[in-house]
Amino acid sequence: MQKMMRLSLLIVYLSISIVASGCGFKDIDKRYFAVGMGIDLTDNEEKPYRITLKLGVPSIEIDAGKSKTQVEIIETSNIAEGLRLLKAQVDKEIDFGHCNVFILGENLARSNIAEAVNWMTRRRDIQKVAAIGIGRPDAESVVKVQPVIERFPGNALGLFFSNDATESSYTFIELLTDLFRRLNEKGLDPILPVVMVQKDSTYIVNRVALLDKEKISIVLEPDETQLLIQLLAYLKKANLYGGFYSPPFAIAIQTIRTKYNFQQNGPALHLNMHIKQAITFDEMPTDAYFNDPKKTINQLETAYSEAVKQLLVKIQEANVDPLGFGLRYRAKYHLHDFEQEWPDIYQSIKFDVSTTMSVHGTGLLK
């Protein structure tokens, strides 16, 4: 009898738990899926944030230009409260499970991004692999764009930050997990791609902004962006392009490997960087390589090394460290107070760069 009573109580408890857990579930037709979000800084001290939210509207049509979205904008004192207020403007629950791109306005990125990133990492329904970018001139103008070629809501911008479609040597992809690490790791500074809108309502992503732990320090030009991406990557299959135009050579880098170490030469600290590349020629003057292959490769190696050195010096002058030199130095040498000592050490470093190129294809038969 007691066993039967216990079994009955167990069944009742299980039934209650199933019903209770189902109360929080909302059907898909009662949800708005956020497909893009932008955060800007306003001039209003009481409401310093402007939130732009792009919501996907389900549609049976998937042809180019048939995607449907709804854009909601609100100014608020903080991001979390702003989203609660936005819920009063829509008739369905807002779900961030499919939001894979977040745009921070350039004015916010030049002030302080820490609070916005902190909110993203704390919210449980935001993917930790979501891509983060900086909107120029602001996040609202980027998020509101409706490309005529877009087939699914918010898909056009998301494809820039994935390997499923375009793979550009000028586009840097920064995920929320890596951005959070760079914001909190001593000796490693954040990098964010800059997203701009063209007149024909399409995007261009060919620059990166280098930040200290809070705000933008410098925005690199496209050729500098491409070079930095090459230094950051350990490439196996992708092609990265670099042009040398005196004479007009263009090379495709098949693989690249970068190694560096610190060396104390008297009072000066040197950073010796060696770059190994496997290349093919995409463009070159007729017979230029075949007339003197060794001289041609030496010229390309020297030109590439000089370009890298100029970039490293420019980054050093901006007092940011996106390549993690400080992290390496911190692992090798003991510093009593890294945050106080490293800036002076970093500014005193002398860069020595060398490059070795091996030709895997000329693309031209003599």
% of the chain surpassing 90 pLDDT = 40
Tens digit of each residue's pLDDT (9 = 90 or more) over 63-86: 555 567 788 899 989 898 888 888
Specify if 334 maps to a domain. Answer: yes
At 103, is the secondary structure helix, strand, or coil?
Answer: strand
Specify if 362 maps to a domain. Answer: yes
Number of domains observed in the structure of the chain:
2
Residues 175 and 319 in one domain: no
Residues 257 and 348 in one domain: yes
pLDDT bracket for residue 333 (50, 70, 90): confident
Q: Is there a contact between 175 and 230 (Cβ–Cβ < 8 Å)?
A: no
pLDDT at 25 > cutoff 80: no
Instruction: Give the pLDDT score at 109.
Output: 95
Average pLDDT score, the chain: 82
Residues 142 and 236 in one domain: no
Out of 15-29, 121-135, 210-224, 229-243, least confident range:
15-29
Domain span including residue 171? 27-219
Of 199, 219, 239, which residue sits at a domain end? Answer: 219
pLDDT at 235 > cutoff 70: no
Residues 54 and 195 in one domain: yes
If one compares 248 and 6, the residue with the highest pLDDT of the two is 248
Residues 42 and 57 in one domain: yes
Residues 182 and 39 in one domain: yes
Residues 36 and 135 in one domain: yes
pLDDT bracket for residue 184 (50, 70, 90): very high
- Measured in degrees and rounded to the nearest 5, phi and psi for residue 263 equal -140, 130
N- to C-terminal Cα separation, the chain: 96
Residues 36 and 164 in one domain: yes
For the question of whether the overall pTM of this predicted structure is more than 0.95, the answer is no
pLDDT bracket for residue 361 (50, 70, 90): confident
**Helices and strands counted in the chain (H then E):** 12, 13
Of 219, 246, 275, which residue sits at a domain end? Answer: 219
Q: Is there a contact between 211 and 190 (Cβ–Cβ < 8 Å)?
A: yes
Instruction: Give the pLDDT score at 344.
Output: 92
Specify if 288 maps to a domain. Answer: yes
Alpha carbons 129 and 35: distance in angstroms, whole number? 14
User: What mean pLDDT is predicted for residues 33-40?
Assistant: 89
> Among candidates 119, 113, 104, which has minimal Cα distance to 52?
104
Instruction: Give the pLDDT score at 161.
Output: 84
Q: Is there a contact between 241 and 169 (Cβ–Cβ < 8 Å)?
A: yes
